[in-house]
């Protein structure tokens, strides 16, 4: 049955190798089980319900990717998108988390349509590479700022807005130790290094009295506080278009880049460098986002950590299905997830930020019309505390810089229209 479902012989793999690959992938991305609830609960969402929604949305996405697309790519609520959900849409813009979930739901529906009608390629080709690079790196810096604030390494200060926190505080020391521990474990290629570091810092927090022990295993919490609570009517408002666009835009490029990168590593691309069954893979991502929003979590997306499973021999959807099963088993570790403090996850946020900023190596540094728009996005995302604002200013600056340089032909109609819309939004306060 497994041979027919996943074509194991054709792909040159076997059940044992796929299961090991699935376990490897899960260990590298399981940190999301504790990080996602700790981020989203700051919106007022119930921690236990978000924990369950995280596990179920991840499991659903992995199952669809495995059974429908037959790729060794795992999914879960995405880092960066959860930060945008919490710190920009809810905390900064003042929308309720129910309305934010409605925006995630709509972005997933639009993503489904783009996947079914194969418009994805046209959209991606219309967006300049400089903006793609700037957005990825900008989200990285945004995550780093959040991690540093959560750890109280960076604190508010009236005259300079921000300053260095008190590094003598035990929780701050543990956060710093956690970051360097993650780096050390990952440098030594220890599987699950991020998760191991988070758990070790939590244990040290218990020993030093910074964290109260609440147990490890229990029955899963109730999901009812977040189940089907998204506000569809609230999200279906003109002022929310930029929010929906930001969710869709980031997910679209993040997913596409991840799928191609992992597939290339697994040697799954065809002779033209294209990914067979791409529409099915994108459908797995978009439907998982819709289901995740219904359950009560931010955008679900493909994880680049899947490359760890590919390196361990994963070639088929059985790898993804294995990851999905492990996410379901994680439902019984809710007390452990709730016990993890923000200073224990701060190092993970900063570490992920470092990885995301690696995209800057693809920037054409000798071309100012490319580097300036990317730099605007990179700087303005963390300084305005908004991914959406950074994206908008990036599009505007790209169109302006190219026009002033006399290179009008390089401004695609898509970029021009979006730049004008974003300019009108800022100019008229829409």
C-alpha distances (whole Å) from 117 to each of 6, 112, 269, 277 are: 26, 9, 21, 13
φ and ψ of 155, to 5 deg: -130, 165
Residue 35, pLDDT above cutoff 70 = yes
Task: State what percent of residues in the chain have pLDDT above 90.
Answer: 44
Determine the pLDDT at residue 290. 96
Q: Which residue has tokens 């992992």? A: 262
Would you state the structure tokens that stand for residue 322, as one six-digit string? 């294995």
Nearest CA among 310, 321, 326 for reference residue 284: 321
Task: State what percent of residues in the chain have pLDDT above 70.
Answer: 97
| 311 CB-side CA count, 13 A | 11
Of residues 94 and 273, more confidence is placed in 94
Distance CA 330, CA 326 (A): 6
Coil vs helix vs strand at 161: strand
| 188 CB-side CA count, 13 A | 9
Element housing 246 (H / E): helix 241-265
The model's pLDDT over 172-200, given as tens digits with 9 standing for 90+, comes to 999 999 999 999 998 998 877 888 898 89
Distance CA 401, CA 407 (A): 9
Would you state the structure tokens that stand for residue 127, as one six-digit string? 């967006």
Residue 238, pLDDT above cutoff 80 = no
Distance CA 148, CA 164 (A): 10
C-alpha distances (whole Å) from 185 to each of 92, 261, 419 are: 35, 23, 43
C-alpha distances (whole Å) from 18 to each of 65, 70, 310, 339, 361 are: 14, 12, 9, 32, 33
Coil vs helix vs strand at 144: helix
Distance CA 29, CA 18 (A): 17
Confidence band, pLDDT 50/70/90 cuts, at residue 54: very high
Coil vs helix vs strand at 300: strand
Residue 386, pLDDT above cutoff 80 = no
Determine the pLDDT at residue 331. 95
Q: How far apart are the first and last CA of the chain?
A: 55
The model's pLDDT over 310-330, given as tens digits with 9 standing for 90+, comes to 877 888 999 999 999 999 999
Distance CA 59, CA 292 (A): 10
Do residues 209 and 245 touch, judged by C-beta distance below 8 A?
no
Determine the pLDDT at residue 36. 95
Residue 430, pLDDT above cutoff 60 = no
Average pLDDT over residues 397-401: 95
Distance CA 79, CA 39 (A): 10
C-alpha distances (whole Å) from 336 to each of 43, 203, 393, 409 are: 21, 10, 41, 55
Of residues 270 and 178, more confidence is placed in 178
Residue 107, pLDDT above cutoff 90 = yes
Would you state the structure tokens that stand for residue 56, as one six-digit string? 């179920």
């Amino acid at each position: 049955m497994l041979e027919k479902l996943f074509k194991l012989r054709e792909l040159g793999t076997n059940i044992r190798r796929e299961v090991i690959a699935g376990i490897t992938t899960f260990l590298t991305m399981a940190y999301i089980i504790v990080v996602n609830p700790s981020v989203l609960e700051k919106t007022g969402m119930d921690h236990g319900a978000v924990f369950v929604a995280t596990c179920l949305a991840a499991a659903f996405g992995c199952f669809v990717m495995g059974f429908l697309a037959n790729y060794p790519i795992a999914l879960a609520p995405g880092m960066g998108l959860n930060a945008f959900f919490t710190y920009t849409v809810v905390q900064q813009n003042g929308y309720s988390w129910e309305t934010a979930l409605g925006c995630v739901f709509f972005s997933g529906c639009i993503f489904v349509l783009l996947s079914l009608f194969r418009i994805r390629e046209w959209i991606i080709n219309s967006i300049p590479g400089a903006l793609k690079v700037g957005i990825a790196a900008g989200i990285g810096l945004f995550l780093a700022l959040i991690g540093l604030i959560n750890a109280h390494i960076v604190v508010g200060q009236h005259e300079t807005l921000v300053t260095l926190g008190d590094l003598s505080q035990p929780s701050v020391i543990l956060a710093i130790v956690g970051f360097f521990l993650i780096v050390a474990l990952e440098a030594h290629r220890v599987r699950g290094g991020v998760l191991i570091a988070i758990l070790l810092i939590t244990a040290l927090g218990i020993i030093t009295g910074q964290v109260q022990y609440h147990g490890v295993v229990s029955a899963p919490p109730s999901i009812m506080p977040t189940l089907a609570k998204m506000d569809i009517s609230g999200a279906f408002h003109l002022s929310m278009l930029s929010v929906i666009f930001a969710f869709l835009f980031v997910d679209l490029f993040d997913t596409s880049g991840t799928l191609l990168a992992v597939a290339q590593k697994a040697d799954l691309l065809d002779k033209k460098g294209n990914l067979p069954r791409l529409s099915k893979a994108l459908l797995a991502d978009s439907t998982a986002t819709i289901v995740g929003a219904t359950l009560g979590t931010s955008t679900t997306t493909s994880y680049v950590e899947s490359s760890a499973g590919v390196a361990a021999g994963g070639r088929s959807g059985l790898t993804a299905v294995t990851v999905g099963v492990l996410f379901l088993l994680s439902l019984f570790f809710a007390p452990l997830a709730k016990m993890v403090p923000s200073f224990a996850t701060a190092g993970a946020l900063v570490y992920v930020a470092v990885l995301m900023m690696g995209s800057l190596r693809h920037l054409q540094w000798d071309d100012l019309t490319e580097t300036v728009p990317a730099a605007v996005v990179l700087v303005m995302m963390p300084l305005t505390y908004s991914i959406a604002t950074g994206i908008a200013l990036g599009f505007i600056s790209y169109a302006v810089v190219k026009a002033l340089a006399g290179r009008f032909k390089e401004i695609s109609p898509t970029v021009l229209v979006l730049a004008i819309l974003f300019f009108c939004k800022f100019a008229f306060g829409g």
